[in-house]
Amino acid sequence: MTGCPRAGEARGLLRVSWLPAAMVLVVLLLASPWWGPHGDELYFRMLPAQWWYEDQPPLTVWLSGLAAHASDQLWVQRIPAAVSASLGAVVGAWGAQTLGGSSRSQRLAAWSSAFTVYPLLIGHVFVTATLDLLAWQVVIVLSLRALRESPTWWVAVGAVAGVSCWNKLLVLVLLAAVAIAAVLISPRALMNRWALSGAAVVGLIGGPQLLAQAVHGFPMSVVARTLAGEHAASVRLLVLPMLVVLVGPGLFAVWRTGLVQPWSRPGNEEMRLVSLVVIVMLVWTVVIPSQLYYPAGAALPGLWVGWVLLDRAWQQGAKPWRPRRTRARVVANGVASVMICLPVLPTSAVVTRLVSRVNPMVSDQLGWADTAQIVDLARGSETTVVTDSYPVAGAVDYYLRGKGVRVYSGHNALWSLGPPASQRVVLVGPIARTMTDWFVSCQPVSAPPAMSGRSPVMMAICDTPRRGWARTWPQFRRLG
């Protein structure tokens, strides 16, 4: 198998992508301390290092733990996210290069991959989707290489997907979509020893995570069903409009060209892989409507295809796609994306509310410091807090660490860290209402102000589990 990519190609990639890659890295690092930690980031910091968790593979948790060990500063924890977004710009240029695009189309693909909504959204926070996006884009580039150049690239596809299984098992759905698309494009695309070797590599590297899920009864499927039960109607209704937003409204015409035009002209067979993968991912998301963003990682490569095709059209004299107008479109989309995704606007209540309507992740980064009021209201210097929400548990741990506060939760992987050692606990959340009968005595307390844009939480101070923690703690367990 040839280099990845070849030396000449690598020099070309660096020449066209170093500036957008460096720019997005700097912008994300500068913006990273503002707003506050995301609920998932608070959760990851709290988890101990293990090779397996009920609700997710461990890679993002491991990196979050390393960052937290190095420094308690939020920007340090977000360094992997900024680096991942920066590498995404290079991968965008690589995708356009793989499709035979000129240096101009590679440069446009790099800038678009760096400064549009979805990469900025998950480049600002470090969550599992952050590394997932980078892995998906690499898998698609390598798959295009396998179709265009040599089937030996399927081994590299398997290696990247296998490593990605240690971050998110959703990459297996992408692999299925790529396999379906490849067979539809070329029925014999996977009928070779390299494709079989790639599948074996996926199993060898990523198999332990899938095996752990199987041995424990696939708890992640419970999480997925819970999400689908909560979000099914909105996901099915909004998945396509949201995909347009995540790709970048200013780049919609480019994206549409990349998905549609390869079908109208001969000689673009490999380009059709991207649109077929997007279709399969959309169908899968409608059937299993867990999260709106799931197809986004497969959809962004449509921009690579679009820029290559539009650049070819410009070279042939297509006036609507002159370079100056195209650059203005990319800049306008980038500015709008930064304003939507990053904390660059004034933090007034009105502005925050308006931005939150476009970017719901904003509310998941605000208000967590109010958890300090839990201890004040409980009136205890030595306090054990039990929540039914991992973000609230993570916030208590983050803001009150070292102040005599111990926190537990039955939510997802945190349940395994219990039960509490104390007989007296402060229940926080709906459990304050539903679990009071399990204790000898419980006293409701006034709820603190809304945390992270949510309604005021219910609280109760409870003493002595009636049946002991061994029988009571399983009642707190919740996957979702």
| Residue-level pLDDT, tens digit, the chain, 480 residues | 444 556 777 788 889 999 999 999 999 999 999 888 999 999 999 999 999 999 999 999 999 999 988 998 999 999 999 999 999 999 999 999 999 999 999 999 999 999 999 999 999 999 999 999 999 999 999 999 999 999 999 999 999 999 999 999 999 999 999 999 999 999 889 999 999 999 999 999 999 999 999 999 888 888 888 887 777 888 888 889 889 999 998 999 999 999 999 998 777 888 999 999 999 999 999 998 888 889 999 999 999 999 999 888 887 776 655 667 788 889 999 999 999 899 888 767 676 777 777 787 888 888 888 777 777 766 665 689 999 889 999 998 988 877 788 999 999 999 999 899 999 999 988 887 788 889 999 988 876 655 555 556 788 899 999 999 999 999 999 988
Q: How far apart are CA 456 and CA 449, in angstroms?
A: 5
Contact between 429 and 407 under an 8 Å Cβ cutoff? The reply is: no
Q: What is the number of other CB atoms lying within 10 angstroms of the CB of residue 170?
A: 23
Which tokens in the block code for residue 72? Answer: 């308690």
User: So what's the pLDDT on residue 447?
Assistant: 67
The burial class, CB within 10 Å (0-12 / 13-18 / 19+), for 233 is exposed
Phi, psi at residue 338, to the nearest 5°?
-60, -45
With a CB cutoff of 8 Å and minimum separation 6, the contacts of 26 are none
Write down the residue that tokens 């860290």 correspond to. Answer: 417
202-204-209-210 Cα dihedral, nearest 10 degrees: 70
Q: Are strands 383-387 and 424-428 parallel, antiparallel or unpaired?
A: parallel
Contact 249, 303 (CB under 8 A): no
Cβ neighbours for 213, distance < 8 A, ≥ 6 positions apart: 169, 219, 220
Residue 401: what pLDDT?
78
Distance of CA 192 to the CA centre of its chain: 33
The whole-number pLDDT of residue 259 equals 94
Give the pLDDT score at 314: 83
Among 75, 74, 52, 79, smallest CA distance to 63 is for 79
- Global pTM reads 0.92
**Other C-beta atoms within 10 Å of 324: how many?**
7
